[in-house]
């Protein structure tokens, strides 16, 4: 027998590493967990780790690398944090200063990498259960809003909860609560449904991030905690240097979405 | 109207604070979450927080205090970490050096307090669902064993997973998996059931901690990740000074067991 073929997730990582993939990762390597990435100097790592512990819905941690390490235990055997994301954003004191396909040349031994769950995983579960996801149907990015719900601060990290919105009929919203509630490591159950103003959203047609989507008669907006929350908190904390994935350009892991409904040991 | 009466959990804290309660807290303030306590110097806080993140089943964090703080946000309004546990253990380089009812005089500004979920919460849920819990029936401590399952290390923290064991008939074991699986913040679903040797337990009649309990014909042992795991990991890390609760002498919080099956925001 020949050796095991690389998983489709590893193939995506290798394509990003080789520089031949620089685009978004939506719909690539179906079934595999995609992760938000946040890379911070280690003097901020404790406060950020505690921010994630205190705000598990927007910041569901999948893994944390050792300081300076370029791999994350449990997320993939052949994984290089510096090269395997198709596009990175580099921030100085909270200001976007660069977009790169490879951050090897700016890598530092004091960098700590956090991999955070992403809604792609639960959207796959929704679609398998026959719950339509509007922004996917319309080929758009999910609409996201800054809510009036405050996160629980930790050190320099704080700010409002950013939520993503998916419109659906009430029957599907009930299914969606049950389905996503089984996936706590990728944002879990919704934080709100119905009246947008109740969580401080003035205009549902004008998202703060992403694209507006059609809301049909009889549908209600359903809101989930969103992985932009920790990114925005990092922006406000103004670390001298930080790196994130570019929106939609995620880290492909070897974890399976199907396993996320089961608590790990 | 008069002001709100103190919760039964607060009454227990106040009794401990006044020094009139120095015994175990099992069965006190039913319905309220009881927590394991670990207090460490802040130079070890990051590695311990990461150890908890990497080992969520034995170390389900309910809250982490700010360095030096004597209260923990979200666990109770009138709560003093230094006085509200009926009995503390004081450790120097991993060796037990004292048992105290009040740690005010040895409190330090660099102490970070971790409150960790405890199996009392899921035992209440098991009993409500009609699943008998043997050690409670027999008036004993739960039997606990060092398993051959390794935790995922973080810095100085490492070591085997310690498991608690409850014998039950297979039908109840199936119910227990479902019930405790809904309580990830108090150890969650079992880590093993059946053959003790499969997880390195040579003699089920000789627990490493707690008491042996009767296993009746037709029953299988069911094993859960146990809060002694982080205590043992702290012992091995040999911090110059650390404080824990004495076994069975837990911190009463104002959280309700019933809410632990719902992921917090």
Which residues share a beta bridge with B209?
A: B144
Q: Counting Cβ atoms within 10 Å, is residue B174 exposed (0-12), middle (13-18) or buried (19+)? A: middle
Q: How far is A146 from chain B (nearest CA, A)?
A: 15
- Are A183 and A146 in contact by the 8 Å Cβ rule? The answer is no
Residue with tokens 């200063």: A97
Torsions phi, psi of A113, nearest 5?
Answer: -105, 130
- Give ipTM to 2 decimals: 0.88
More confident site: A184 or B108: B108
Chain A residues with at least one Cβ partner in B under 8 Å: 45-46, 49-50, 52-57, 61, 64, 73-74, 149, 152, 161, 181, 184, 188-189, 191, 225, 262-265
| Mean pLDDT across chain A | 94
How many whole angstroms separate alpha carbon B122 and alpha carbon A171? 31
DSSP A100-119: ES--GGG--TTEEEEEE--T
- Measured between alpha carbons, how far is B72 from B59 in angstroms, rounded to an integer? 17
DSSP character string of A182-226: T-GGGT-S-SEES-GGGGT-S-TTS-SBS------TT-EEEEEE-
Average pLDDT over residues A69-81: 95
Query: Which chain A residues touch B191 with a CB distance below 8 Å?
Result: 265
Structure tokens at A49: 């780790």
| C-alpha distances out from residue A15 to A8, A73, A82, A243, A252, Å | 11, 21, 13, 20, 11
CATH architecture of A121-229: 2-Layer Sandwich (3.30)
Tokens of B188: 């969650």
- Give me the total of CB pairs closer than 8 Å, taking one residue from chain A and one from chain B: 56
For residues A249 and A262, the answer to whether their CB atoms sit within 8 Å is no
**Are the beta carbons of A263 and B61 separated by less than 8 Å?**
no
What are the tokens at A20?
């031949």
Q: What is the DSSP letter of A66?
A: P
Q: Which residue shows structure tokens 């080929």? A: A139
Contact between B265 and A55 using a beta-carbon 8 Å cutoff: yes
At CB < 8 Å, which residues of chain B contact A?
45-46, 49-50, 52-57, 61, 64, 73-74, 149, 152, 161, 181, 184, 188-189, 191, 225, 262-265
Q: Sorting pLDDT into bands at 50, 70 and 90, what band is B5?
A: low
B120-229 topology per CATH: PSTPO5379-like fold (3.30.2040)
Domains in chain A: boundaries? 8-119+236-261, 121-229
Q: What's the rounded mean pLDDT across residues B109-127?
A: 95
Within 10 angstroms of residue A175's Cβ, the number of other Cβ atoms is 16
* Spatial CB neighbours of A15, under 8 Å, sequence gap ≥ 6: A21
Structure tokens at A98: 């660069």
- The DSSP-derived string for B165-185 is EEEE-HHHHHHHHHHHHT-GG
Are B100 and B87 in contact by the 8 Å Cβ rule? The answer is yes
Mean pLDDT value across residues B31-53:
97
- Measured CA to CA, the distance from residue B110 to residue B243 in angstroms comes to 13
Which pLDDT tens digit goes with each residue over B178-225? 999 999 889 999 999 999 999 999 999 999 999 999 999 999 999 999
Reduced to 3 states, what is the DSSP secondary structure of residue B212?
coil
B94: left (phi over 0), alpha (psi -120 to 50) or beta: left
Q: For A17-37, what is each residue's pLDDT tens digit? A: 999 999 999 989 999 999 999
Q: Does the pLDDT of residue A136 top 50, yes or no?
A: yes
Who among A56, A191, A263 is closest to B189 (CB)? A263
Predicted pLDDT of residue A37? 96
Give how far A127 is from chain B: nearest CA, Å.
Answer: 23
Distance of CA B68 to the CA centre of its chain: 22
Confidence of residue B1 (pLDDT cuts 50, 70, 90): very low
CATH class belonging to A8-119+236-261? alpha beta
Q: Is the predicted pLDDT of residue A117 greater than 80, yes or no?
A: yes
CATH for the stretch B8-119+230-261? 3.40.1640.10
* pLDDT above 50 for A1: no
Model pLDDT for residues B134-160, shown as the tens digit of each residue: 999 999 999 999 999 999 999 999 999
- Does residue A56 surpass a pLDDT of 50? yes
Looking at residue B26, the DSSP 8-state letter turns out to be T
Q: What pLDDT score does B262 carry? A: 79
Give the chain B residue whose CA is nearest to the CA of A60.
B53
Residue A169 has pLDDT above 60, yes or no: yes
Cβ atoms of A32 and A254 closer than 8 Å: yes
Cβ A149–B263 below 8 Å, yes or no? no
- Residue B3 — pLDDT band, cuts 50, 70, 90? very low
What average pLDDT score do residues B91-102 get?
96
Which pLDDT value is given to residue B264? Answer: 73
Q: Percentage of chain B surpassing pLDDT 90?
A: 91
> Nearest by CB to A263, which of B54, B184, B265?
B184
Please work out, in degrees rounded to the nearest 5, the angle formed at the alpha carbon of residue B237 by the alpha carbons of A156 and B56: 60
* Rounded distance between C-alpha atoms, residue B144 and residue B209, angstroms: 5
């Amino acid at each position: 027998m020949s050796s095991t073929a690389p998983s489709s997730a590893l193939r995506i990582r290798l394509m990003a590493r080789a520089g031949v993939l620089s685009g978004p990762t939506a719909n690539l390597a179906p079934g595999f967990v995609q992760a938000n990435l946040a890379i911070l100097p280690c003097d901020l790592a404790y406060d950020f780790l505690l921010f994630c512990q205190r705000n598990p819905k927007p910041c569901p941690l999948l893994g944390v690398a050792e300081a300076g390490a370029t791999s994350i235990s449990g997320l993939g055997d052949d994984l290089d944090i510096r090269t395997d994301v198709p596009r990175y954003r580099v921030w100085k004191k909270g200001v976007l200063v660069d977009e790169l396909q490879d951050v090897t040349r700016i890598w530092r031994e004091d960098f700590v990498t956090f991999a955070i769950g992403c809604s792609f995983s639960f959207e796959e579960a929704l679609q398998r259960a026959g719950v339509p996801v509007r922004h996917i149907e319309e080929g758009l990015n999910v609409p996201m809003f800054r809510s009036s719900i405050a996160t629980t601060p930790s050190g320099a990290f704080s700010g409002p909860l950013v939520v993503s919105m998916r419109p659906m009929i009430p029957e599907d919203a009930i299914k969606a609560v049950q389905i996503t509630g089984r996936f706590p490591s990728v944002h879990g159950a919704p934080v709100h449904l119905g009246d947008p103003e109740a969580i401080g959203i003035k205009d549902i047609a004008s998202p703060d991030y992403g694209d507006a989507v059609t809301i049909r008669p009889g549908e209600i907006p359903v809101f989930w905690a969103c992985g932009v929350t920790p990114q925005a908190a990092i922006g406000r904390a103004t670390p001298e240097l930080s790196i994130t994935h570019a929106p939609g350009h995620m880290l492909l892991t070897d974890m399976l979405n199907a396993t996320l409904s089961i608590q790990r040991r």
